[in-house]
Copies of this chain bind each other. A is one copy, B any other.
Amino acid sequence: MAALGLVSMRVCVGLMGRRSAVPLQSLCSSSGMTLSQIDEEVAKLLQLKAQLGGDEGKHVFVLKTAKGSRDYNPKQMAIREKVFNIIVGCFKRHGAETIDTPVFELKETLTGKYGEDSKLIYDLKDQGGELLSLRYDLTVPFARYLAMTKITNIKRYHIAKVYRRDNPAMTRGRYREFYQCDFDIAGQYDAMIPDAECLKIVYEILSELDLGDFRIKVNDRRILDGMFAVCGVPDEKFRTICSTVDKLDKMAWEDVKREMVIEKGLSEEVADRIGEYVSMQGGKDLAERLLQDPKLSQNKQACAGLTDMKLLFSYLELFQVTDKVVFDLSLARGLDYYTGVIYEAILSQTIQAPVSKPSEQNGVEEAGTSVGSVAGGGRYDGLVGMFDPKGRKVPCVGVSIGIERIFSIMEQKAEASSEKVRTTETQVLVASAQKNLLEDRLKLTSELWNAGIKAEVLYKKNPKLLRQLQHCEETGIPLVAILGEQELSDGVVKLRDVASREEASHFNKRFLNKGCVT
């Protein structure tokens, strides 16, 4: 506080120096200041700064994107489009609608939804008006949307970017701007049916993306809470112990135990009891066995969770996905808003993240989810009620696909494959071997466009034929339509297959007009 007072004093004296005498004594006798006075003061200082004219000293403009963000180049976009098509195709196959929400929300809409992670929220500058923040995920805006529209039943997907002020240097492989790809089912339904569909969707998407073998871990918040209770964890420590358990996928049990005992103050005995449970994995059988567990069976929460887990597995059997789904008591997941089933999909065979290229200035190259995990979600029955003025609840269950991680794997696969990724869909290049045929090339190209054929023409009056053929090879255009004086007088077009260099017999232009080139 000493420094604060000191600098403040200098400020005020400095400001006073800019104008004529002021009764210092009378001002100095007033004491204390309110928050709105601070606001006013800050605004005035900033205004003064603006009047003084920008930042001090010489400034060098740096040509880069913001820390933790990146551009997508055409090749990355082509891969992104392919991945999105598979995912959206699956969502549509399951009868989902889609919605979109603004990139920013009122700051208070996000307040109190993310626990400790709230510090990672990007706020907008107060430029007069509402206080806004960039969305941190798609789930809270979805809940806000449901409460605002009073919709009680919807199956929707939403693919959009979200924003987190993570330190990309510290948590390697994370971007500050990244895609989320969410599918959620809202509504009061019979138990575990929508939950099972979410898992079926994860199964379908990961299979179709062909990312290698995977597992989907399943657990339930109620089972975790019941387990903590019967192990002797005090109520107020449930959440913090939960987040320690969540580290079991990256840390050894010994280290997790140490954190529980030393940092979080559990007794060794309690920690060991937790250790026994969280080492358990299985399927429907495990749920049945735990329902007979002398301690767990006495806990109401745990029983409800285990009963639902049994039911869930019976539906998963009908969906034929149990070969990949594991009931795993160590799965915890960090977010506060989950109330029931939770799940996470992990690729068995972890593909190495690509080495950061020297040209990459931000020092990041990856994903929005932890390494290995490519999907996650769960049931959150209380979130919509937090927004509803009357606290009216809308039960929800959903899944988020870790699309950035998937992009990165697909990029590596494309890199490793000999097949070139095309960034355009052009079917034919209209070319010429002779000079002064620009007008004829433009005319034919236009006819092709009008016929719905994807066509290009070089923007040169007299391009060399070789240059035109090179363009086809570089961009993967399969066909080239070659115009010449002879062809023009005959009213035909010569068509060449770029790869085989075979020249097809002369096609009549009227044929092209009918789209017969494809």
Counting CB contacts under 8 A, is A251 at the interface? Answer: no
Counting CB contacts under 8 A, is A294 at the interface? Answer: no
How extensive is the interface on chain A, given as a class?
35 or more
Q: Quick one: given A24-B9, A37-B7, are A189 and B66 in contact (CB under 8 Å)?
A: no
Interface 9-mer from A70-78, A235-243, A284-292, A322-330: A70-78
- Which residues on B sit within 8 Å (CB–CB) of A56? 34-36
Who on chain B is nearest to A144 by CB? B63
| Interchain CB contact under 8 A, B10 and A30 | yes
Contact among B4, B66, B78, B319 with A105 in the assembled complex (CB-CB below 8 Å): B66
| Interchain CB contact under 8 A, B66 and A132 | yes
Counting CB contacts under 8 A, is A416 at the interface? Answer: no
Smallest CB separation, A162 vs chain B (Å): 10
Q: Quick one: given A33-B10, A69-B104, A102-B177, are A449 and B127 in contact (CB under 8 Å)?
A: no
- Which residues on B sit within 8 Å (CB–CB) of A55? 35
| Interchain CB contact under 8 A, A98 and B71 | no
1/0 per residue A19-42: CB within 8 Å of B? 100101001111111111111111
Complex alpha-carbon distance, A66 and B197, angstroms? 33
Counting CB contacts under 8 A, is A129 at the interface? Answer: yes
Smallest CB separation, A41 vs chain B (Å): 5
Q: Within the oligomer, what is the number of copies of this chain? A: 2
Counting CB contacts under 8 A, is A498 at the interface? Answer: no
Contact among B2, B38, B99, B124 with A71 in the assembled complex (CB-CB below 8 Å): B99
- Which residues on B sit within 8 Å (CB–CB) of A145? 71
Smallest CB separation, A40 vs chain B (Å): 6
| Interchain CB contact under 8 A, B100 and A77 | yes
- Which residues on B sit within 8 Å (CB–CB) of A318? 439, 442-443, 446
Of the listed residues A48, A103, A134, the one surrounded by the most CB atoms of chain B closer than 10 A to its CB is A103
Q: Quick one: given A122-B127, A124-B122, A442-B318, are A4 and B48 in contact (CB under 8 Å)?
A: yes
- Which residues on B sit within 8 Å (CB–CB) of A144? 63
| Interchain CB contact under 8 A, A449 and B200 | yes
Q: Quick one: given A67-B129, A149-B73, are A30 and B13 in contact (CB under 8 Å)?
A: yes
Complex alpha-carbon distance, A99 and B37, angstroms? 47
Who on chain B is nearest to A388 by CB? B63
| Interchain CB contact under 8 A, A31 and B52 | no
Interface 9-mer from A87-95, A260-268, A337-345, A366-374: A87-95
A and B contact pairs by CB, cutoff 8 A, 23 listed: A4-B15, A5-B16, A14-B31, A34-B56, A38-B46, A64-B106, A66-B106, A66-B132, A72-B101, A74-B154, A77-B100, A80-B100, A93-B454, A95-B426, A103-B177, A123-B125, A124-B124, A124-B125, A125-B126, A185-B459, A193-B460, A318-B442, A320-B446
Further 4 A-B residue pairs, CB within 8 A, beyond A5-B18, A72-B101: A6-B22, A10-B27, A103-B134, A189-B460
